[in-house]
Amino acid sequence: MKKRRILATLMTAAMFATTLTGCGGNTNESGGSANNNATNAGNSAKKDDVQEITWMFWDDLDATEDLISLGYKQTIERFNKDYEGKYRVKPITTNLEEYYNKLNALVSAGETPDVFIVSPGPQLTDYVEPGVAAPLDEYLNKDGWKDTFTSDAVFTQQTYDGKIYAVPLNTAAACCFYNTEMFEKAGAKVPTNWDEMITACDKLKTAGYTPVTISAGTAWCLSMVAGYLCEAEGVSLPKLADGSASWEDGKLENVGNKLVEFSKYFQRTAAGDTNDVATANFYNEEAAILIQGSWVIGQINGSNPEFESKCGVFQFPGVERIIAKSDSLCMSSSTKNPEAAAALIKYFTDDTAQKYTAEKGGKIPVTKVQYDESVAPKQLSYVMDVFKGAKGTFGFYNESMPTTETGAHFDDTMVAVFLGDMTPAEAAKDMEDYYKTNCRK
């Protein structure tokens, strides 16, 4: 009886200890292998004066094949090694779809990560306006850091009332990626206007290929195409926001009609496919065209390196400007270690990181770094050509609207048009009503 009691006590203690260990170990798990490596590097030199900061990112560094994400992982490891005994970074990672939900939950709980990635536009505004993100001018102006960037223009979308609240890490442009082999076999030509795009899709379809792979499950992917179609129609977002233009002026209706016409060439599962699935359809050669940001180069080449030679790039037909976007890092205004956080952000824009961005990741660097074009992915040079040929850039439509929710409403409306839940005219009316109620004063 006594033995049994002792055994029971020991088992209870062991269970309780396991539970506590489980709770304690949780933070380390989220970072994947980079996190573990980073933590190990830090632990070996753990001293009382080591400043520990957190960095939150939208990809699982342990499982990813995306070359850009792997580059970020290397940067974290390099930082932890170089600052061993002084600073240590703990990554908090999650998938892209859940990223903002989890970040917002942490912010609300008063546990904002010291450094976190964010898209410029209303999403960044969400963190700047309530004072969650800290201004970074003080650090950027120190030691000529700001001068390493290609120009001050790279900070345009990150500047609020003259203060810079985020540092861009790279630039990507939304382009049409295509399978050159499928185009050749189908006798399709690279389109330069909308009619040629439809002709090319027709030829691809006749040849037995799925012409376009797209994700409506991840609504912004479909909405990106709608954004380009709006650009072609001459939609002006600032005028719509101030009420001097109306969504019901016929332009959005035309966009909707074109989108419906174009949707005949989408893969059958477009309604529910996620961004990753739609992209995989392309690099697994199940579809001929993928309309996506050039950040996808890292994903394509990381997942199927052989496909690089078959992958061409052309500008979305019928528009003169291209959609451009950058990943940006914010510093929490509540961080206890701002110097460490600033040092980390700086590491993401140093020559090593920026060279990697271009040479391996295939994204456009934001600094004046010299990189070896001959080793960079072929697609990057095509994207650079598109950039040079374009007459300017504009932001993602959903990120250029007054609020995050307005952008999401636009995305959903475009998906509704694609699904046939709304006619293009109804979509235009819906957007106008939404703007009247929520966006115009």
Partner 1 sequence: MDKMLRDKKSILVFMLPAFLLFTLVLFIPIVQSVYYSFCDYKGMTAPVFIGLDNYKNLLSDKTFGIALKNSMFFLVFSCVSQLLIGLIYAAVLTNINKGRNLFKNIIYLPCVLSSAALGLMWMFIFSPKLGINQLLEKMGVEEPPLWLMDTKGSITLPMWVIAFVALWQYVGQSMMLYMAQISGISKSLMEASYIDGCTKPMTFRYITLPLIKPMVATALSLNAIGSLKFFDLIFNMTEGGPNHKTEVLATHLYQQGFKYFKYGYASAIGVVLLVLCLLVTLFINKVVKTEQYEM
Q: Scanning residues 40 to 59, which ones bind partner 1 (CB under 8 A)?
A: none
How many binding residues for partner 1 (CB under 8 A)? 29
Given candidates 241, 260, 384, 408, which one binds partner 1 under the rule CB under 8 A?
A: 408
**Binding flag, residue 217, partner 1 (CB under 8 A):** yes
Q: Scanning residues 240 to 279, which ones bind partner 1 (CB under 8 A)?
A: 268-269, 271-273
Given candidates 50, 100, 163, 241, which one binds partner 1 under the rule CB under 8 A?
A: 100
- Convert residues 110-129 into a mask of x (bound to partner 1 by CB under 8 A) and - (unbound): ----------------x---
CB of 405 to partner 1, least distance (A): 5
CB of 284 to partner 1, least distance (A): 10
Distance CA 240, CA 245 (A): 5
Which stretch, 8-16, 205-213, 321-329, 410-418, contacts partner 1 (CB under 8 A)? 410-418
Per the CB < 8 A criterion, the answer to whether 289 and 225 are in contact is: no
Residue that has been written with the tokens 């933070």 in this structure: 27
Given candidates 404, 410, 427, 428, which one binds partner 1 under the rule CB under 8 A?
A: 404
Distance CA 295, CA 173 (A): 8
Distance CA 90, CA 80 (A): 9
**Binding flag, residue 101, partner 1 (CB under 8 A):** yes
**Binding flag, residue 412, partner 1 (CB under 8 A):** yes
Q: Residue 183: left (phi > 0), alpha (psi -120 to 50), or beta?
A: alpha
Between 234 and 420, CB nearer to partner 1: 420
Distance CA 145, CA 77 (A): 21
Distance CA 22, CA 398 (A): 40
CB of 415 to partner 1, least distance (A): 4
**Binding flag, residue 105, partner 1 (CB under 8 A):** yes
Given candidates 118, 175, 204, 216, which one binds partner 1 under the rule CB under 8 A?
A: 216
CB of 225 to partner 1, least distance (A): 15
Q: Scanning residues 130 to 159, which ones bind partner 1 (CB under 8 A)?
A: 130-132
Which stretch, 57-65, 308-316, 340-348, 403-411, contacts partner 1 (CB under 8 A)? 403-411
Between 131 and 234, CB nearer to partner 1: 131
Residues with Cβ within 8 Å of residue 415, at least 6 apart in sequence: 216, 219, 222, 223
Which stretch, 87-95, 99-107, 147-155, 224-232, contacts partner 1 (CB under 8 A)? 99-107
Amino acid (one-letter) located at 422: M
Which stretch, 11-19, 95-103, 301-309, 352-360, contacts partner 1 (CB under 8 A)? 95-103
The Cβ of residue 302 has, within 10 Å, a number of other Cβ atoms equal to 19
Distance CA 326, CA 171 (A): 4
Between 137 and 412, CB nearer to partner 1: 412
Distance CA 210, CA 390 (A): 28
Between 5 and 268, CB nearer to partner 1: 268
Q: Scanning residues 293 to 322, which ones bind partner 1 (CB under 8 A)?
A: none
For the record, the structure tokens of 259 come out as 């989108």
Which stretch, 63-71, 211-219, 245-253, 360-368, contacts partner 1 (CB under 8 A)? 211-219
Which stretch, 35-43, 162-170, 287-295, 416-424, contacts partner 1 (CB under 8 A)? 416-424
**Binding flag, residue 29, partner 1 (CB under 8 A):** no
Between 96 and 384, CB nearer to partner 1: 96
Closest CA to 92 of 61, 117, 66, 55: 55
CB of 102 to partner 1, least distance (A): 8
HSE toward the beta carbon, residue 348, CA cutoff 13 A:
26
**Binding flag, residue 291, partner 1 (CB under 8 A):** no
Instruction: Give the β-pairing of 167-179 and 289-293.
Output: antiparallel
Distance CA 101, CA 313 (A): 33
Please, which contacts does 36-45 make with residues 24 or more away whose CB atoms are closer than 8 Å?
Answer: 37/77, 37/80, 38/76, 38/77, 38/80, 38/88, 38/89, 38/90, 38/91, 39/88, 39/90, 41/77, 41/80, 41/81, 41/84, 41/88, 42/80, 42/84, 42/88, 44/84, 45/84, 45/85
Q: Which residues bind partner 1 (CB under 8 A)?
A: 97, 100-102, 104-105, 107-108, 126, 130-132, 216-217, 219, 268-269, 271-273, 404-405, 408, 412, 415-416, 419-421
